[in-house]
């Protein structure tokens, strides 16, 4: 099954190779030839040439040559059919296929993509020109994105009325109901009338790798609106979320040129990286990384940089990452982002740090181990033993023995523990044994550490202490806490589980294994109960936690020029004074006010 030969030939004859190549290369006429720097390999002197009369190119440096179809296949990484279709669309040629049903399906997919393109234009105009797009424009400004960024990424706003897009597409653009519903731009309601699928949301258009419009990601703007914070186009004939990567249509050339792809979690993360000079960034579209993504990526680059917190996703993703490294011959590394910060946050606060985070990226396992050791208490036998077990648990997951042994020796040198003992413990862990903290002897002191399970993630101790108290004394501590106080993503997930469950057992059952293990460990740890009153205990725990989150909040408000920062500063000064004087009972009401501030700001600014 394929495109009819005469149509392929018509595409070849119609395409001006010089004009096509100029979309990617600066060309200079030299006699009857056109020359320029080769788009397929790095060079300083031009060795790439085109014979316009024959419609062929050749590079005397890398040896690649061919016609317009070959050029598009190489530069845009398409298969033969995709390249011909790309050139046919460019020339306005309708292709025919040797199977009538295949021809019909191709035409159907093209019509759906055209409907999406029309919706992109409608939403974009609504964002840029209409008063009701003001809320979306305000949100973008709060995230550090101006009108030029909105135009560059063709962002849009979906109005709140139930059928404005559907009416526009039907009456102005002459699309039929089947096209509009088939593209998941609207659905038939109970009255059998078209109702828009997206309403009152910031719209992120999504194109496939070829540049065909296929769908949207849509962010909620009003916290009072019901529905998920992010909503994506449902599966359609052209939108398959497990194969799509947001931004790949813009990034693929840079990915190939740099040999690296940066994978983010959110649409605004991709925008932030591109605007900060990291144009090889992409993001998944409402789903986790999957094998289908790597079927595409492995043909573009072998270096995969994860631009999100490895502590949040690392433990769950480690096994899959190592499998992907072996199956697709790729190499994972992790961007050096500050703990608890995503690229969108840095774009708003510290833009120069974004590019440096990619430049200073580390191998996946190196990053995780460094984060563990950096957060550990290495001044005590127990602290070093816990750090060793946490690091070994990560090392044991790696399938390559030589890699494991190299990291074991690094950990042994850092913690001053015999490498052979660490090798023995790693072998036990790979056989499925539980970590044996007491089996690791600190070589400096000569004493065995007390037994206990290692923390699955390094965390701010104030956050960990608050979560421990929330496990042991939920009625005492729980009412004073909010998820916004936890910068550590893993602890935030654990708090959400506790807050959303009627019992501790229910909370554990609702979590993934890593978070469940953390909660179970905290449940058996001592809370170091003193003779203080319950109110004083709550005050100490909450004040210690809220002081850090309030400092982050105050810094953010000052950067934004928020005049309310004066109120937050006053409360923060008061709570610090109470902490220094040890008047925890008096500190608690002030801390509660700061918790309310932090929670409210999080609702307004949370997300990508």
Q: What sign does the CA torsion over 29, 32, 37, 43 have? A: negative
- Kindly state whether residue 495 falls inside one of the protein's structural domains: yes
CATH code at 71?
A: 3.90.580.10
**For range 172-184, the mean pLDDT:** 95
The answer on pLDDT for 294 being more than 90 is no
Residue 544 lies in a domain: yes
Q: Among residues 232, 264, 289, which one ends one of the domains?
A: 232
Q: Is the pLDDT of residue 175 over 90?
A: yes
Which of 180-184, 454-458, 547-551 has the lowest average pLDDT?
Answer: 454-458
Specify the pTM: 0.60
- Which span out of 79-83, 406-410, 573-577 was modeled with the highest average pLDDT? 406-410
Q: What is the mean pLDDT of residues 84-89?
A: 89
Residue 364 has pLDDT above 80, yes or no: yes
Angle between helices 461-472 and 513-524 (to 10 degrees): 70
Whether 250 and 356 share a structural domain: yes
259 & 338 share domain: yes
Using left for φ > 0, alpha for ψ between -120 and 50, and beta otherwise, residue 64 falls in beta
Do 588 and 506 lie in one domain? The reply is yes
Distances (CA, A) of 505 to 383, 463, 472, 502, 519: 29, 21, 13, 9, 10
Top-confidence residue, 380 or 309 = 380
Mean pLDDT over 166-190 rounds to 95
Q: Which two tokens stand for residue 76?
A: 């845009």
CATH assignment at residue 401? 1.20.50
Is position 444 within any domain? no
CATH number at residue 129: 3.90.980.10
Assess if residue 266 is contained within a domain: yes
Residue 316 pLDDT > 60: no
Both tokens of 67, joined, read: 């016609």
Question: Average pLDDT, whole number, for the chain?
Answer: 84
CB count within 10 Å of CB 482 equals 18
In a domain, 453, yes or no: no
- My answer on whether 338 and 392 are in the same domain is no
Domain residues for the domain of 260 are 245-360
Tens digit of each residue's pLDDT (9 = 90 or more) over 455-472: 344 457 788 888 888 888
Over residues 316-335, mean pLDDT: 77
Is there a single domain that holds both residue 135 and residue 218?
yes
Q: Within a domain: residue 501?
A: yes
Please indicate, yes or no, whether residues 493 and 397 belong to a single structural domain of this protein. no
- CA 479 to chain centroid, in Å, comes to 31
- Whether 454 is covered by a domain: the verdict is no
Same domain membership, residue 320 and residue 259: yes
pLDDT on residue 459: 56
Q: Let me know whether 223 and 121 are in one domain.
A: yes
Residues 6+ apart with CB under 8 A from 305: 260, 261, 262, 263, 332, 333, 334, 335, 358, 361
Q: Which pLDDT score, from 0 to 100, does residue 471 have? A: 87
Q: Of 72, 91, 110, which residue is a domain's last? A: 91
Does 451 reside within a domain? no
Residues 75 and 172 in one domain: no
Of 91, 125, 159, the residue that ends a domain is: 91
Distance of CA 514 to the CA centre of its chain: 20
Same-domain check for residues 355 and 372: no
Shared-domain flag, residues 307 and 408 = no
Residue 586 has pLDDT above 50, yes or no: yes
> For the chain, what is the domain count?
5
Handedness of CA 265, 270, 276, 279 (dihedral sign): positive
Helices (H), 237-329: 248-258, 267-275, 291-297, 310-328
Per-residue pLDDT, 538: 82
CATH number at residue 269: 3.40.1360.10
Buried b / exposed e across 570-603, counting CB within 10 Å, b at 16+? ebbebbbebbeeeebbbbbebbbbbbebbbebbe
How many CB atoms sit inside 10 A of residue 99's CB? 12
Q: What is the percentage of the chain residues whose pLDDT exceeds 90? A: 32
* Confidence at 116, pLDDT banded by 50, 70, 90: very high
Q: What pLDDT, on the 0 to 100 scale, is given for residue 526?
A: 62
Mean pLDDT of 413-435: 85
pLDDT band at 449 (very low <50, low <70, confident <90, very high): very low
Among 136-150, 216-230, 238-252, 438-452, the minimum mean pLDDT is found in: 438-452
Question: Distance between CA atoms of 566 and 353, rounded to whole angstroms?
Answer: 28
Same domain, 498 and 559: yes
- Per the CB < 8 A criterion, the answer to whether 525 and 467 are in contact is no
Lowest-confidence range among 158-172, 394-408, 513-527? 513-527
């Amino acid at each position: 099954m394929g495109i009819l030969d005469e149509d392929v030939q018509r595409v070849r004859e119609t395409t001006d190779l010089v004009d096509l190549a100029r979309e990617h290369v600066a060309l200079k006429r030299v006699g009857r030839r056109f020359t320029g720097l080769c788009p397929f390999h790095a060079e300083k002197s031009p060795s790439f040439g085109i014979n316009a009369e024959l419609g062929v190119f050749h590079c005397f440096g890398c040896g690649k040559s061919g016609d317009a179809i070959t050029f598009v296949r190489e530069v845009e990484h398409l298969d033969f059919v995709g390249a011909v279709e790309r050139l046919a669309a460019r020339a306005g040629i309708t292709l025919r296929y040797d199977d009538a049903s295949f021809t019909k399906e191709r035409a159907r997919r093209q019509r759906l993509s055209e409907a999406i393109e029309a919706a992109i234009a409608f939403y974009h105009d609504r964002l840029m020109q209409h008063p009701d797009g003001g809320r979306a424009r305000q949100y973008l400004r709060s995230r550090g994105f101006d009108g030029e960024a909105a135009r560059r990424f063709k962002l849009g706003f979906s109005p709140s009325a139930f059928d404005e897009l559907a009416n526009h597409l039907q009456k102005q653009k002459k699309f039929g109901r089947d096209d509009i519903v088939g593209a998941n731009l609207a659905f038939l309601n109970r009255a059998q009338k078209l109702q828009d699928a997206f309403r009152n949301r910031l719209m992120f258009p999504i194109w496939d790798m070829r540049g065909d419009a296929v769908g949207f990601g849509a962010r909620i703007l009003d916290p009072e609106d019901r529905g998920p914070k992010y909503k994506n186009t449902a599966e359609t004939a052209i939108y398959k979320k497990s194969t799509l990567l947001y931004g790949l249509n813009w990034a693929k050339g840079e990915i190939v040129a740099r040999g690296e792809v940066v994978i983010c979690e959110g649409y605004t993360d991709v925008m932030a990286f591109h605007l900060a000079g990291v144009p090889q960034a992409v993001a998944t579209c409402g789903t986790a990384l999957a094998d289908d993504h790597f079927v595409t990526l492995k043909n573009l680059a072998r270096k995969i940089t994860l631009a999100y917190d490895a502590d949040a996703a690392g433990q769950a993703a480690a096994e899959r990452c190592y499998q992907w490294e072996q199956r697709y011959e790729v190499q994972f590394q992790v961007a050096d982002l500050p703990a608890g910060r995503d690229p969108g946050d840095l774009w708003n606060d510290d833009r120069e740090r974004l590019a440096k985070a990619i430049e200073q990226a580390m191998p996946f396992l190196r990053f995780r181990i460094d984060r563990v050791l950096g957060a550990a208490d290495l001044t005590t036998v127990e602290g070093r033993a816990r750090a060793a077990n946490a690091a070994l648990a990560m090392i044991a997951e790696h399938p390559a023995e030589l890699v494991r042994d190299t990291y074991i020796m690094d950990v042994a040198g850092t913690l001053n523990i015999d490498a052979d003992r660490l090798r023995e413990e790693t072998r036990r862990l790979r056989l499925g044994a539980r970590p044996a903290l007491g089996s690791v002897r600190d070589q400096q002191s000569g004493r065995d550490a007390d037994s206990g399970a290692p923390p699955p993630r390094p965390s701010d101790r104030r956050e960990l202490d608050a979560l421990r108290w929330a496990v042991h004394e939920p009625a005492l501590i729980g009412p004073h806490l909010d998820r916004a106080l936890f910068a550590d993503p893993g602890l935030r997930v654990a708090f959400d589980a506790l807050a959303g469950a009627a019992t501790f057992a229910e909370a554990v059952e609702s979590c993934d294994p890593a978070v469940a293990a953390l909660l179970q460990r905290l449940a058996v740890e001592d809370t170091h109960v003193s003779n203080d009153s319950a109110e004083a205990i709550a005050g100490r725990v909450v004040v210690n936690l809220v002081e850090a989150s309030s400092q982050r909040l105050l810094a953010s408000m000052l950067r934004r020029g928020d005049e309310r920062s004066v109120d937050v500063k006053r409360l923060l000064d008061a709570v610090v004074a109470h902490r220094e004087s040890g008047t925890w009972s008096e500190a608690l009401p002030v801390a509660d006010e700061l918790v309310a501030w932090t929670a409210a700001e999080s609702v307004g600014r949370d997300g990508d």
